[in-house]
């Protein structure tokens, strides 16, 4: 791997300095969004305000309980299908302000979410008295209700499965589900209800997205489902952020006047996320979650990524009793969240890719296939700590695209880091040597870098922590004029995790457990470098 990197260094250094000087730099800075709030005196009024913000008129509205979530969890895709806002009421009495909003919208059709025991005659009789047509979508329980909503939507080749005992995961995926007309089915954590199982069989979807970690949906109950893909984080906030990374291409969030838009809701209660999810999907934008008094690192990082040239408009749903002034200040950039790496931009460079396989192992494995998973795992860890992460590649491609050459590939990686004014650059590789007994982990920096001392310090911290995780021979931190660490303008390192030419290490390098440990080691090294 490294021989090719070295040979271009002297040839290209002066040319690249000139070339980079002619490029327009993209500013990378901590989150500094414009903000507004949408809220009412209570959750019912907040839902009405959201309806007013998104709908001048509607022929249909969805009506859900304001004090419990089970029967409304899966309603956001139905809202998109019918272009219907979601309004809330308490089950004991239909709120008169809700009737006023239905009248303002000009709606003549109301879908009541939940069975008789959930939304009974105290709700439906006033609808009759108001001359409104209504229908009920409700089953024997939340799982049956989800099935009935799914049948109303129909199949599209994929299905979403989320925990029905809690609200965050199902509501986080709601905008994507609505945009793609994907039904959401519900399950218990350790048991798949028979009604859900039967519907999954009926849909026979080619792709099944499981939302949430093992504590939300265990692996045992989803074994055998087609095209299984889990989208999860360590908590509701990370899971919501992972939903953003998963769905960002689908939710194109077209900027208005050069500014992209996002909605921020509390992750501590369901009503705002439910009704704002309907508005977010209508506007093809993204829903993020925060705690009352803090902006979790994963949310902070995702919001940073969603901005366009640093411009972002965040609509906070709820008053300061729901999302505090402190959270608003964090969104506006006048205060930093408590997450460890908030405000940092870190470029992760999984080596090789596309036509460049990198080194080839004794049994034929490719270096490029080992470096990418490490980079993706590392990106998740860094984002969870608030960092703005830029990957030079997130699939089997070269950052140089269709114009690939060894030269353009290296230029592109350096350009990404320098133009984005990254704070750190980490390149991930596998080593190779003619002697198959050679092995161990090495971290390189360039003594010719403009920030050589800082790169050495970063390299030493990362090498130490990676060694703790991997336990291979410690080959130390060394200087080498590798192109990507010599020509980047920020502290930069290149980590050789092990020797792919060593049969024993080749097997390790391609294993998911080893890759995750490698990512954890690099992450801990970065934290150590930052003083944590």
Tens-digit pLDDT profile for residues 12-64: 333 333 333 333 233 333 688 999 999 999 999 999 999 999 999 999 999 99
Residues 89-98, buried b or exposed e (16+ Cβ, 10 A)?
bbbeebbebb
Q: Is the pLDDT of residue 419 over 70?
A: yes
Q: pTM for the complete prediction?
A: 0.79
Read off the pLDDT of residues 145-173 as tens digits, 9 standing for 90 and up: 999 999 999 888 999 999 999 999 999 99
264 by DSSP, 3-state: which?
Answer: strand
Taking residues 444-454, report their average pLDDT: 97
Q: Which residue did the predictor score with more confidence, 254 or 230?
A: 230
At 249, the pLDDT band (50, 70, 90 cuts) reads confident
| Cα 463 to Cα 489, 495, 498, distances in angstroms | 21, 8, 12
- In the block, tokens 């992209």 appear at 260
Q: Are 27 and 422 in contact (CB under 8 A)?
A: no
Read off the pLDDT of residues 376-408 as tens digits, 9 standing for 90 and up: 999 999 999 999 999 999 999 999 999 999 999
Question: What pLDDT sits at residue 20?
Answer: 32
When computed from its CA atoms, the radius of gyration of the chain, rounded to whole angstroms, is 26
Question: What angle do helix axes 367-384 and 512-529 make, rounded to 10 degrees?
Answer: 50
Q: Is the pLDDT of residue 5 over 60?
A: no
Taking residues 403-421, report their average pLDDT: 96
Question: What pLDDT sits at residue 24?
Answer: 29
Sort 162 into a burial class: Cβ within 10 Å, 0-12 / 13-18 / 19+. buried
Question: What pLDDT sits at residue 447?
Answer: 97
At 329, the pLDDT band (50, 70, 90 cuts) reads very high
Read off the pLDDT of residues 455-477 as tens digits, 9 standing for 90 and up: 999 999 999 999 999 999 999 99
Q: Is the pLDDT of residue 443 over 70?
A: yes
Transcribe 118-172 into DSSP letters.
TS-HHHHHHHHHTT-EEEEE--SSHHHHHHHHHHHH---SEEEEEESSSSHHHHH
Domain coordinates in residue numbering, the chain:
2-29+343-529, 34-332
The DSSP secondary-structure symbol of 323 reads S
Q: Is the pLDDT of residue 211 over 90?
A: yes
Q: Please give the backbone phi and psi of residue 219, each rounded to the nearest 5 degrees, phi first.
A: -65, -30
The DSSP secondary-structure symbol of 262 reads E
- HSE toward the beta carbon, residue 350, CA cutoff 13 A: 30
Taking residues 69-94, report their average pLDDT: 93
Q: In angstroms, rounded to a whole number, what is the distance separating the alpha carbons of residues 507 and 498?
A: 10
Domain 2-29+343-529: CATH superfamily is: Zn-dependent exopeptidases (3.40.630.40)
CB atoms within 10 A of CB 220: 10
- Across-strand partners of 136? 112
Range 451-459 contact pairs with CB under 8 angstroms and sequence separation of 24 or more: 451/489, 451/490, 451/491, 451/492, 452/479, 454/491, 455/485, 455/491, 455/492, 455/493, 457/491, 457/529, 458/424, 458/491, 458/492, 458/493, 458/525, 458/526, 458/529, 459/493
Question: What angle do helix axes 43-54 and 96-105 make, rounded to 10 degrees?
Answer: 0
Sort 358 into a burial class: Cβ within 10 Å, 0-12 / 13-18 / 19+. buried
Q: Is the pLDDT of residue 99 over 80?
A: yes
- In the block, tokens 């995926």 appear at 173
Question: What pLDDT sits at residue 257?
Answer: 64
If residue 176 lies in a helix (H) or strand (E), which one and from where to where? helix 174-180
At 7, the pLDDT band (50, 70, 90 cuts) reads very low
| Average pLDDT value for the chain | 91
CA 462 from chain center: how many Å?
25
If residue 301 lies in a helix (H) or strand (E), which one and from where to where? helix 297-306
496 part of the active site: yes
Q: Are 245 and 302 in contact (CB under 8 A)?
A: yes
Question: What pLDDT sits at residue 252?
Answer: 64
What is the β-pairing status of strands 345-350 and 109-113? Answer: unpaired
Q: Which of 496, 505, 506, 520 is catalytic?
A: 496
Q: In angstroms, rounded to a whole number, what is the distance separating the alpha carbons of residues 42 and 98?
A: 13
Question: What pLDDT sits at residue 251?
Answer: 72
Residues 6+ apart with CB under 8 A from 402: none
């Amino acid at each position: 791997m490294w021989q090719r990197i070295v040979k271009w260094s002297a040839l290209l250094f002066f040319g690249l300095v000139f070339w980079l000087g002619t490029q327009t730099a993209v500013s990378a800075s901590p989150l500094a969004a414009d903000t507004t709030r949408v809220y009412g005196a209570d959750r019912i009024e907040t839902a009405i305000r959201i309806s007013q913000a998104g709908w001048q008129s509607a022929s249909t509205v969805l009506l859900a309980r304001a004090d419990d979530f089970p029967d409304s969890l899966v309603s956001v895709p139905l809202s998109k299908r019918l272009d219907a806002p979601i309004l809330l009421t308490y089950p004991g009495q239909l709120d008169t302000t809700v009737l006023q909003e239905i009248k303002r919208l000009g709606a003549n059709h109301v879908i009541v979410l939940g069975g008789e025991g959930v939304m009974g005659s105290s709700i439906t009789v006033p609808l009759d008295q108001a001359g409104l047509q209504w229908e009920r979508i409700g089953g024997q329980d939340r799982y049956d209700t989800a099935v009935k909503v799914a049948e109303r939507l129909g199949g599209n080749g994929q299905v979403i499965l989320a925990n029905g005992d809690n609200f965050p995961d199902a509501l986080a995926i709601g905008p994507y589900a609505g945009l793609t007309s994907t039904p959401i089915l519900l399950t218990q954590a350790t048991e798949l209800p028979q009604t859900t199982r039967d519907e999954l069989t009926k849909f026979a979807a080619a792709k099944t997205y499981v939302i949430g970690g093992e504590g939300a949906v265990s692996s045992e109950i989803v074994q055998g489902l087609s095209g299984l893909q889990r989208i999860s984080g360590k908590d509701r906030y990370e899971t919501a952020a992972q939903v953003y990374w998963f769905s960002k291409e689908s939710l194109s969030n077209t900027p208005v006047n050069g500014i992209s838009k996002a909605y921020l809701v509390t992750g501590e209660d369901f009503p705002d996320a439910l009704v704002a999810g309907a508005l977010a999907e209508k506007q093809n934008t993204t829903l993020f979650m925060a705690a009352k008094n803090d902006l979790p690192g994963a949310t902070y990082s995702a919001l940073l990524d969603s901005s366009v040239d640093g411009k972002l408009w965040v609509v906070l749903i709820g008053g300061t009793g729901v999302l505090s002034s402190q959270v608003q200040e964090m969104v506006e950039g006048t205060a930093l969240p408590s997450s460890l790496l908030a405000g940092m931009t870190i470029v992760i460079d999984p080596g090789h890719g596309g036509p460049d396989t990198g080194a080839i192992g004794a049994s034929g494995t490719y270096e490029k296939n080992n470096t990418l998973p490490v980079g993706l795992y590392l990106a998740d860890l860094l984002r969870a700590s608030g960092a703005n992460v830029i990957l030079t590649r997130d699939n089997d491609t070269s950052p140089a695209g269709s114009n690939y050459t060894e030269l353009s590939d290296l230029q592109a990686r350096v350009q990404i880091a320098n133009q984005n004014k990254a704070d750190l650059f980490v390149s991930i590789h596998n080593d190779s040597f003619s002697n198959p007994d050679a092995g161990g982990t090495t971290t390189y920096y360039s003594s010719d870098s403009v920030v050589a001392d800082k790169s050495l310090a970063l390299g030493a911290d990362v090498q130490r922590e990676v060694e703790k995780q991997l336990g291979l021979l410690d080959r130390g931190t060394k200087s080498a004029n590798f192109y990507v660490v010599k020509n980047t303008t920020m502290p930069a390192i290149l980590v050789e995790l092990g020797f792919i030419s060593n049969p024993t290490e080749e097997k390790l390098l391609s294993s998911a457990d080893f890759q995750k440990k490698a990512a954890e080691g690099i992450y801990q090294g970065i934290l150590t470098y930052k003083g944590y």
